[in-house]
Structure 1
Amino acid sequence: METPTSTLRRAAVALVAVATAGPLASGAVPSSAAEPSAAALAADPGDSGKFGRLNAQIERLDKAYGGDLAKLKDARYAAKKALDESKVLQSDLNEARDLVAQMAASQYMTGGQDPAVSIITSGNPSDSLSNVSLVSHLAQNKAAKVAQIQTLVSKQDKARQEAQQKITELQKEIKELLAQKSRIRSLVKKYKPESPSVGMGGVTPRMLKVKNTIDMEEGPFPTIGCVRSTGDPQDHGTGHACDFMVTTGGQMASGSAQSLGDRTAAYAIAHASALGIKYIIWRQRIYDLRSPGWRSMENRGGVTANHYDHVHISVF
């Protein structure tokens, strides 16, 4: 036989279930209109995690595609705004449900067998907020939040749908960018920043072509120096050579700077025939296309003199 104490305990449990149930509850509020679907009201069916992954992908695309992807970031902004609004509405909805449960429990404990509790204990707790009698009874006790529940659920449903739509649009934007990967990378390569250059007056057309090609493919470089007459100019004096600097101030190249020099030298060797390259000097070694292979050079006494801070390229 059930005692008043056990009835109260069961009612309290039912009220807590109703109050704390997320939007997965099948019937949240009374309404003459069709109720929102459970999927639409799911607490967060992976939306935040999905958005986080898409956001990380955007940052990677930024780097790969040459800087700020304004159109894509606008779609990201819209998705985040919709998600944030959905979360705020969810918090308001939870607060309203909590108040409903607290008031119903309080009225029962102070006034005996309450009609609201009779409804809760006699049926499925998930259906309780759909019962017009319960909501009408609580509304009479000036529970302002009760009157707001239907509005909140409708807004939450709309916000969730909008958030999911914005995330879908964001996924579409990313998919379109990935589908155009080759074209975009060509544009990035074509219009990426050019290296500052000195001594371009009097450079030969072939050397100019080599300079522009390597700058596009491997640059930008801190600077590229070509024609000069001081020191031991050799091919620089006739406009047949350029120095592709990978550091400044006579600093020994290491890390990413050395990697840049390695890539530049390798590219020059691989495309020497097509570009008319005669020889390459890098890190106290020379690669002469007339007698292929790297050969060590004599120590000339300094980082720059030994080509540890730049790649020298000469053309025929």
Structure 2
Amino acid sequence: MAVASPADRRRGALRLLGTVLALVLAVSATPAQAAPKPTVEQLKKELAALQKESDALITDYYNGRIAHEKAAKAENAARAKLTAAQKVLDRESAELRSMAVTEYMNASSLPTLFLQTTPGTDDYLRRLAFAQHLVDEQAARLSGFAQVRDTHRRAQQEAAARARELGDQVEDLAARKARAEKLIEKIRDKIDQLHKAPGVRRSDGTWVPQLPGGPDHITPRMRLVRTLIQERFEVPFGIGCYRQIQDGGEHPLGRACDFMLSRGGAMPSAAEVQRGNEIAEWATKNAKRLAIMYVIYRQRIWHVRTGTWRPMSDRGGATANHYDHPHISVY
């Protein structure tokens, strides 16, 4: 049997290496399987679990509020005790200083009580009893001051402990609230994902127009967007959609709604401005899925084609410039 030469062995090793590399490249070139999209039933099941967790967090949040209120009352009580103890301490300190000054000025008064008296006589005993009375009074005052001082120190310690407890409660309460709000937002996003705009979408991203219908004279797409926003953001000042005036916009076509933040053309409050910001942000975030064409808010317009906001010219007034409402139009 012929023995392979070193050159033959090298060529064989190179061929084997080439085969291995080809296999590795073939495997890496195979497209990865995309994860299947969740079904409506799966999303509903996930929503139910999130809702249960959210309810538990909200319960925990309200329990924290109760504990916070108790801690606040305890701290107020401790502060009141400290204030009262401080007043007593100040008064006793002043009286003790006064007594010390008096004793210093009359330092020789006690010995003179016993001058020119004979031990054992009634006068001597009376003076002895009086001296003892002075000593006892001083001892009582010193003892009372010590008690006041200790009470004051305990009140200080209790007030400091309650303040720390209150601070911990506030931080814990804020953390619970943040967790609950984050989870609720997640639940709302899941609810939104259960809905898609009805109708036919073209290959270029636009949608085949729909006819309005129903007593509200709006299209099914606009009705879906209005319902989702109303459920999520409440919109307490009302929603205006269809109107007959032919102004060149989508309102007469049933493809636009105004989500009011105030009444009578008044500028909305800071809280309502924030509500409008949240509605506009939600609309731009869900525009492609819900067939939203553009959003107007606070003299700016956002279009799904560009995905950016641009300023608009001044049309005069809060309503005309959309400062008191976000406007949403669908395809």
Normalising by structure 1, report the TM-score. Answer: 0.51
Aligned pair partner of 1:108 in 104, 111, 115? 104
- 1:97 alignment partner in structure 2: 93
Segments of 5+ residues of structure 2 without an aligned counterpart are 1-60, 112-131, 187-213
Aligned to 2:296: 281
Q: After the TM superposition, which of the residue ranges 242-251 and 296-305 deviates more from structure 2?
A: 296-305
Q: Which residue of 2 aligns with 1:5?
A: none
After the TM superposition, which of the residue ranges 290-299 and 89-98 deviates more from structure 2?
290-299
Percent identity for Structure 1 against Structure 2:
34
| CA positional deviation for 1:153 | 3.0
Aligned positions of 1:1-316 closer than 5 A: 69=65, 71-112=67-108, 140-141=136-137, 145-186=141-182, 207=222, 210-211=225-226, 214=229, 221=235, 223-232=237-246, 235-236=250-251, 240-251=255-266, 261=276, 264-282=279-297, 286-290=301-305, 304-305=319-320, 307-316=322-331
Could you say what secondary structure the match of 1:180 adopts? helix
Residues 200 and 112 of structure 1: is their aligned pair in 2 closer, same or farther, counting only changes over 3 Å?
farther
Pairwise CA distance, 1:92: 0.9
Quote how far apart the aligned CAs of 1:203 are.
Answer: 6.3
CA distance in 1, matches of 2:230, 2:133: 78
The two structures, once aligned, show a CA RMSD in angstroms of 4.6
Q: Distance in 1 between matches of 2:69 and 2:161?
A: 16
2:99 counterpart letter in structure 1: M
SS at match of 2:327: strand
User: What 5-or-longer segments of structure 1 have no aligned partner?
Assistant: 1-64, 116-135, 191-198
Amino acid at match of 1:224: G
CA, structure 1 residues 75+312, in 2 after alignment: closer, same or farther (shift >3 Å)? Answer: same
Query: Max radius of gyration: which structure?
Result: 2
Q: Counterpart of 1:170 in 2: which secondary structure?
A: helix
**Aligned length in residues:** 222
State the 1:313 CA deviation: 0.7
Deviation at 1:252, TM superposition (A): 6.1
Alpha-carbon distance between aligned partners in 1 of 2:80 and 2:134, rounded to the nearest angstrom: 30
Contact 2:245 2:252 survives alignment (8 Å): no
What is the match of residue 132 of structure 1? none
Structure number with higher relative contact order (C-alpha < 8 Å, ≥ 6 residues apart): 1
CA shift, 1:85, in A, is 0.7
Q: Secondary structure at the match of 2:326?
A: strand
Residues in 2 aligned to 1:160 and 1:302: alpha-carbon distance in whole angstroms? 59
User: Is 1:138–1:146's contact at 8 Å kept on the other side of the alignment?
Assistant: no
Query: 2:148 and 2:72 mapped to 1: Cα distance?
Result: 25
